[in-house]
């Protein structure tokens, strides 16, 4: 069987974890292919709220195998904390049993967090992601597959600590790395994850050849892509379709479906232009009803109307075969809903995103309007979703104005909406196809 890619199509936080959790019921493998613990996935199972930063969302499906892929940067201490939390709640430590860490994935060390804490411009999570990717590109990083080669090498520890301290001093940091501590940390990482470190690309390739189902789970979103996003206010990895198979260690011919996750409105965390941002009562409504606070940082998300310009850009980069629309319920109760269809930049109408972050900040949204639809409680939305899926009603279970809104988005983007989320619960999703 082929692989499915799940990607964020805005600035992240679109609800990828919930969809992956649902699809993982039919999957054998769920794979993270980029990023690190700067990601945040939330899965709601009734009264239980699970928040993950490194563990793939398929963790809740005991029959599903999990991979932290080649393209990731991994903080071993954060992963250990998540695994301990999962063991406390489920009684299972999946390390080396159904959770595998790519031998090619890079390791986030304390030094990388020290460097990242100095950021004052981009608005990073401060988790060491960018500095670890920088070391990767500079070919001085440490990978899980290299641990066995350096754990008893005192020269490696001393020379690495010397290099790190020189870099810290050069940027004015007061933090320092001790060679002895570094050697001890590397030894602990190796001992903790030795059973889980594996040639995961080979494992996935074999699984696909055997007809097993694989889900490639993205982190962040298309607009945070280092190449195709709103640079420099982006993450440090390629978040888009082109990196999904590469970051997992398999070839792109395995993929037959690419699902883009998009909120029914738009949010952003951190700095940078956001043309449809709302700093009024409606923006407050979206943030409050949508509980728009970052899973990783707890920072308040900036909220705005749906931006079709952003989404057309994401579609061009990723070639989505379908869209999963989330948080439609949050728009309930608004009399009018707006959709941004173009920008005005320096007096001219444009229909594509400018590559310059400075130019994007000058863009003014051009809207079309559509009627709103009634609000419901989360329990009511959940009942609507369950009944829709049980009776095969699909989109017809939604209010007429909500159906019209979805059809307008499909027309503007040229991509079918395949599911609609109407609440945080796993079952609060209506399948449209």
110-113 long-range contacts, CB within 8 A, separation 24+: 110/177, 110/185, 111/164, 111/167, 111/168, 111/175, 111/177, 113/75
Between the alpha carbon of residue 388 and those of residues 329, 333, 392, the distances in Å are: 15, 21, 6
At 72-96, the pLDDT tens digits run 999 999 999 999 999 988 899 999 9
Tokens matching residue 296: 């990783």
Which string of DSSP letters, residue by residue, matches 249-275?
TS-GGGEEEEEEEEESSEEE-SSS--T
Which H or E run contains 330? none
CB 381 within 8 A of CB 368: no
What residues does each domain of the chain span?
104-196, 262-431
CATH architecture label of 262-431: Alpha-Beta Complex (3.90)
73 DSSP β-pair partners:
106
CATH superfamily, region 104-196: Adenylosuccinate Synthetase, subunit A, domain 2 (1.10.300.10)
Confirm whether 13 is a catalytic residue.
yes
Residue-level pLDDT at 296 = 60
CB 11 within 8 A of CB 311: no
Residue-level pLDDT at 22 = 86
Q: Which of 15-19, 195-199, 227-231 has the lowest mean pLDDT?
A: 15-19
Residue-level pLDDT at 297 = 64
Q: Fold match between 104-196 and 262-431?
A: no
Q: Is pLDDT at 358 greater than 90 in this prediction? A: yes
Global pTM? 0.93
Confirm whether 41 is a catalytic residue.
yes
At 147-193, the pLDDT tens digits run 999 999 999 999 999 999 999 999 999 999 999 999 999 999 999 99
pLDDT category, 334, cuts 50, 70, 90? very high
At 103-152, the pLDDT tens digits run 999 999 999 999 998 877 766 778 999 999 999 999 999 999 999 999 99
Instruction: Out of 21, 41, 70, 307, pick the active-site residue.
Output: 41
Residue-level pLDDT at 39 = 78
pLDDT category, 18, cuts 50, 70, 90? confident
Instruction: Out of 13, 70, 75, 225, pick the active-site residue.
Output: 13
Between 40 and 205, name the one with better pLDDT.
205
Which string of DSSP letters, residue by residue, matches 201-255?
HHHHHHHHHTT--EEEE--S-GGG-TTTSSTTSS-SS--SHHHHHHHHTS-GGGE
- Identify which of 9, 10, 7, 8 has the alpha carbon closest to the alpha carbon of residue 275: 10
């Amino acid at each position: 069987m082929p692989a499915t890619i799940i990607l964020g199509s805005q600035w992240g936080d679109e609800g990828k974890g919930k969809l992956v959790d649902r699809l993982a019921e039919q999957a054998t493998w769920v794979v993270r292919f980029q990023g690190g613990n700067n990601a945040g996935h939330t899965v709601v199972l009734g009264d239980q709220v699970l928040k993950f930063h490194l563990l793939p969302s398929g963790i809740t499906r005991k029959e599903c195998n999990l991979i932290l892929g080649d393209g990731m940067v991994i903080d071993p201490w954060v992963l250990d904390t998540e695994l301990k939390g999962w063991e406390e709640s489920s009684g299972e430590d999946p390390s080396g049993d159904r959770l595998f860490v790519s031998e090619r994935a890079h390791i986030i060390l304390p030094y990388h967090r020290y460097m990242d804490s100095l950021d004052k411009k981009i608005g990073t999570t401060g988790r060491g992601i960018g500095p670890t990717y920088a070391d990767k590109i500079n070919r001085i990083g440490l990978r899980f597959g290299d641990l066995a080669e350096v754990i008893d090498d005192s020269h490696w520890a001393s020379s690495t600590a010397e290099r790190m301290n020189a870099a810290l001093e050069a940027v004015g940091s007061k933090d320092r790395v001790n060679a002895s501590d570094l050697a001890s940390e590397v030894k602990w990482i190796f001992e903790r994850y030795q059973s889980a470190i594996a040639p995961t690309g080979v494992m996935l390739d074999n699984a696909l050849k055997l007809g097993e189902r694989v889900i490639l789970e993205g982190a962040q979103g298309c607009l945070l892509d280092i190449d195709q996003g709103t640079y420099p206010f982006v993450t440090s990895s390629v978040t888009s379709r082109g990196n999904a198979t590469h970051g997992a260690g398999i070839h792109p011919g395995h993929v037959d479906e690419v699902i883009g996750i998009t909120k029914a409105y738009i949010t952003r965390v951190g700095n940078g232009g956001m043309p449809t941002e709302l700093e009024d009562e409606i923006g407050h409504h979206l943030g409050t009803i949508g509980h728009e606070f970052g899973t990783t940082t707890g920072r308040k998300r900036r909220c705005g109307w749906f931006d079709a310009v952003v989404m057309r850009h994401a579609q061009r980069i990723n070639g989505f075969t379908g869209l999963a629309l989330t948080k439609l319920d949050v728009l309930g109760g608004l009399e009018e809903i707006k959709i941004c269809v173009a920008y005005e930049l320096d007096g001219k109408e444009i229909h594509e995103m400018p590559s310059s972050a400075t130019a994007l900040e000058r863009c003014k949204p051009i809207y079309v309007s559509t009627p709103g639809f009634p609000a419901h409680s989360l329990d009511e939305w959940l009942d609507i979703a369950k009944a829709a899926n049980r009776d095969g009603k699909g989109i017809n279970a939604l209010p007429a104005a909500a159906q019209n809104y979805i059809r307008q988005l499909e027309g503007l983007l040229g991509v079918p909406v395949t599911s609609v989320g109407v609440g945080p619960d796993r079952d609060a999703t209506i399948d449209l196809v």
